[in-house]
A and B are shown apart, each in its own frame.
Chain A
């Protein structure tokens, strides 16, 4: 599919015909200590108790989960918390065939996998929650679609919690069909 250009065939690169070109290969790593802050921290702590929290904008009322300090639309600080889900309806799926690396670990992800948007119970419109689908269920789910008045319902999903939970995204292993 991809036609690779041959460097030596190109008129623009005419000076290096006889020279060995050396490429230095380095893995660069600087350890980081990411703060969660009080807002993300409260959300992550709740995951340990198998609860999913959203933060609510005091002006427009929209829910955000994972939560953020401010509502970007209203430019005000979010203060109120609401528990959402943990069950919901699939609204979006990225069916990923491309094996991309996880930049936090450097490891390639196993393919195929489904990165999904779930409208957790208690949420509406664009308030979807981003996580992964149980790989065995990739071919068995439908995504719900809203186009103006046209609404189709997506597959009901529930979280599968990790045995050991530390307050991280990995506390939810993935979402699976809720039947």
Chain B
């Protein structure tokens, strides 16, 4: 039986993002969402009349709103539409794109609007994430998404000098990308000569994970409009096609040794299955850009190896030779990635949105040089959960 072709093709026809910021007191939640929805509709040249179904997601305990899609109807435009709410932690934005893709491919809806948002200013983010832990045990021990397990692993494998330099080099490359993206929440203007200083003096959070390595807590929303092939071709000159997506979760974490032993991670497992079923033998060669959900520079640097099925220090060499920069062999996060902005329920969707903009060639100041035919975006959340979404410029696979 195996993996089948989609019932029908699905294209991205509209993308909207708010400016990402540490604080948006000037708008309430539905108003902020409305900015992204309006932006996506304008981008697609559509109105709410063209939308059949609205899919919404975030995490309730960050803002302490139960089923917020109900209130947010004021800003989503969902009144009179079919409406779903899906949430899967940090992966939510990827889940929403995958769900919208499924809903359109199924033939149930022709045009679906997917909306991810978070207003992290309105709650305590680390407290909110710690709340995911089991109340009988780990809630006492966990500190949000902060962990230096990736640093411990990298230092054990590559030695402290090389590992710390690779993480900081990754961080500065991301900042250089973020400085070109007008939507960035954090764009510091870091330069290479600051590496030594940052490695010593950035405030430590946990072990070798320092403040400079970690993603931000942002307010913001992202909206994407997906249509069936027939509709997409009417609505848009150059839809970006969603080729395939895969979601891989893993069990709840009740110990700290995750990834400490060299077994297969969710990232590698997801990538291996996705590439196999789509006949991609050399992902580093195939893809033209990668938008990764990189919650910290340590994780980002480490995960390149798994997502591209690399071995040994191949991922470090990509970083050290700056091949992950715009213009390099595999540009990673030309948007600046999650280190530049992290409105959690939107973050994973922003990865897909930014990858799609790169395919369209109109990402703005951070558009990478050359043609982007094949793009991939990742989502991260929960207890090392991963989603990969493949985008294509042409319908030719």
Task: Judge A-B direct contact (beta carbons within 8 Å).
Answer: yes
Q: Name the residue in B186, B255, B262 with the highest tally of chain A Cβ atoms < 10 Å from its Cβ.
A: B255
A117 within 8 A of B: yes
Chain A, interface SS category: loop
> 22 A–B contact pairs at CB < 8 A?
A2-B211, A3-B186, A5-B185, A40-B137, A66-B134, A72-B250, A94-B206, A95-B207, A98-B205, A98-B206, A100-B130, A101-B126, A103-B128, A126-B257, A126-B258, A128-B257, A129-B255, A131-B141, A145-B156, A146-B260, A147-B262, A169-B136
Q: Which residues of B contact A95 (CB under 8 A)?
A: 148, 206-207
A115 to B319, CA, bound (A): 31
Q: Are B255 and A102 in contact (CB under 8 A)?
A: no
Q: Are A28 and B64 in contact (CB under 8 A)?
A: yes
Shortest distance between the CB of A120 and any CB in chain B (Å): 11
* Per-residue B-contact encoding for A155-170, CB less than 8 Å = 1, 0 else: 0000000000000111
A52 within 8 A of B: no
B25 within 8 A of A: yes
A67 — nearest CB in chain B belongs to which residue? Answer: B254
Q: Which 10 A-B pairs have the closest CB atoms?
A: A72-B251, A117-B256, A100-B143, A21-B25, A98-B205, A92-B256, A101-B127, A16-B26, A128-B255, A12-B19
A64 within 8 A of B: yes
A127 to B134, CA, bound (A): 18
B interface bracket (residues with beta carbon within 8 Å of A): 35 or more
Which residues of B from 142 to 190 have beta carbons under 8 Å from A? 142-144, 146-149, 152, 156-157, 185-188
A150 to B25, CA, bound (A): 53
A148 to B131, CA, bound (A): 34
Q: Are A34 and B135 in contact (CB under 8 A)?
A: yes
A15 — nearest CB in chain B belongs to which residue? Answer: B26
Q: Are A92 and B260 in contact (CB under 8 A)?
A: yes
A146 — nearest CB in chain B belongs to which residue? Answer: B261
Shortest distance between the CB of A32 and any CB in chain B (Å): 7
B358 within 8 A of A: no
A44 within 8 A of B: yes
B45 within 8 A of A: no
A109 to B228, CA, bound (A): 51
Q: Are B260 and A94 in contact (CB under 8 A)?
A: no
Which residues of A from 111 to 135 have beta carbons under 8 Å from B? 115-117, 125-132
B236 within 8 A of A: no
Shortest distance between the CB of A108 and any CB in chain B (Å): 10
A173 to B280, CA, bound (A): 52
> Contact check: which of A2, A40, A101, A129 meets B136 at CB < 8 Å?
A40
Q: Which residues of A contact B137 (CB under 8 A)?
A: 40, 66, 130, 169
Q: Which residues of B contact A143 (CB under 8 A)?
A: 152
